[in-house]
Amino acid sequence: MQKNKVLIVDDHLVVREGLKLILETNERFEIIGEAENGEVALKFLETQKPDVILLDLNMPTLNGLDTIKALNDREISIPIIILTTYNEDELMIKGLELGAKGYLLKDTGREDLFRTIESAIRGATLLQPEIMAKLLGAKEKKSKVLTPFEATKLTEKELFILQATAKGYRNKDIAFDMGIAERTVKAHLTNIYNKLGVNTRTEAVAVALESGMIHL
């Protein structure tokens, strides 16, 4: 069985050790590295490529949000799951807007941990309804909701890709279904982002759901 490789990035040793102990009980996961801040994580990623990154937000030297921005700038597309506490909603929303695939409370249960990681690796964005509502609310503060006229700017292909994205399909899966190259899917996504005034898949899905352009 091929194991899913995990990188844990958190400045608290007790958190890293706790996550390792849980994940090591599941034969589907392998911890290939850990880092106490984003700078160490970026250095690690120069030579290693995990399947998923568990990322704390509040860290010294280079925090979680700046780490996600650095990964985006370098076009490193490894699924990220935010590690958060109950009082970090604002930071978590910013992380999701930057493209994180989901979040985990640091005291989350074993099964939720496994399910969230596996979902992120599949390419899905796994959010609880209340978090999706907060994400939509944050997006509404930044830009107006699309009018029906503006929604028609998306082509049928773009709507198909956006719908598939909302269901958690990866670019290569969408490309296979449509009979086109993966780079063409990426080009369509870029057009979608520009038309909707967003920067990430998560934001695009949130706006499209809110405006009724797509449905889950």
Q: What is the pLDDT of residue 168?
A: 78
**Predicted model pTM:** 0.63
Q: What is the pLDDT of residue 132?
A: 59
∠ CA 70-118-81, nearest 5°, is 30
Residue spans of the chain under pLDDT 50 = 144, 148-149
**150/71 Cα distance (integer angstroms):** 31
Q: What is the pLDDT of residues 42-53, one digit of tens each?
A: 999 999 999 999
Q: Could you say which architecture CATH assigns to the domain 144-211?
A: Orthogonal Bundle (1.10)
Q: What is the pLDDT of residue 31?
A: 93
What CATH number has the domain spanning 4-126? 3.40.50.2300
Q: What is the pLDDT of residue 86?
A: 63
**194/150 Cα distance (integer angstroms):** 12
Report domain extents, the chain.
4-126, 144-211
